[in-house]
């Protein structure tokens, strides 16, 4: 059996596999965790010590699990107000490791960890496989990259013929 793929198809498969992994990973994390409501109790204003003297904000969010109270720090902004409510998600066995259940708190890290390999794989595919190339994979003989569809069809027939001869001996 021979599988023939174009560069575009390989890129689509790569993106799909990474996206499916990300969604399944996050859905599993949601399934294993519990949510509660937290409230901003304090907003800290921080200045960078570098040349730019940028100002950033850190929101301290308090939440309760049973009779225990916990605090987490999250990136904030100047529009946040003390008393503002957030949904917090945490593992039942580690409620102190909660995070805000929003894009920045729950999805951003995993998305970044998926984008980086995606960039490297895409760069590799785009650098080493030309637009008109066809990648052929024969389960008996391995991988071949052909320069055009016509060339690929001829090489695949030859490839299959050679593999039959090898295995008849």
Residue 121 lies in a domain: no
Is the C-alpha dihedral spanning 96, 100, 105, 106 positive or negative?
positive
- The predicted pLDDT at position 169 comes to 44
Rounded to 5 degrees, φ, ψ at 18 are -65, -40
Q: Which domain holds residue 95?
A: 33-111
**Domain containing residue 72: CATH number:** 2.40.50
Same-domain pairing of 99 and 134: no
Q: At what angle do helices 108-128 and 7-32 cross, to 10 degrees?
A: 170
- The predicted pLDDT at position 132 comes to 84
Domain count, the chain: 2
pTM, entire model? 0.68
Checking if the pLDDT of 32 tops 90, the result is yes
Same-domain pairing of 87 and 150: no
Residue-wise pLDDT tens digits, 120-134? 999 998 888 888 888
- The predicted pLDDT at position 112 comes to 92
More confident residue, 164 or 84: 84
- The predicted pLDDT at position 50 comes to 67
Same-domain pairing of 22 and 76: no
Q: Structure tokens of 101?
A: 């259940």
Helical H segments across 76-131, by residue range: 108-128
Same-domain pairing of 135 and 72: no
């Amino acid at each position: 059996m021979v599988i023939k793929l174009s560069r575009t198809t390989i890129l689509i498969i790569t993106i799909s596999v990474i996206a499916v992994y990300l969604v399944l990973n996050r859905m599993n994390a949601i399934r294993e965790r519990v949510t509660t409501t937290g409230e901003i109790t304090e907003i800290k204003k921080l200045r960078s010590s570098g040349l730019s003297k940028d100002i950033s904000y850190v929101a301290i969010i308090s939440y309760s699990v049973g009779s225990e109270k916990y605090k987490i720090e999250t990136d904030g902004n100047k529009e946040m107000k003390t008393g503002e409510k957030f949904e917090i998600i945490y593992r039942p066995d580690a409620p102190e490791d909660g995070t805000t259940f929003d894009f920045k708190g729950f999805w951003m890290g995993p998305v970044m960890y998926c984008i980086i390999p995606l960039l490297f794989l895409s760069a590799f595919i785009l650098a080493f496989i030309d637009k008109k190339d066809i990648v052929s994979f024969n389960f008996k003989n391995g991988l071949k990259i052909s320069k055009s569809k016509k060339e690929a069809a001829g090489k695949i027939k030859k490839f299959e013929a050679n593999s039959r001869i090898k295995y008849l001996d």
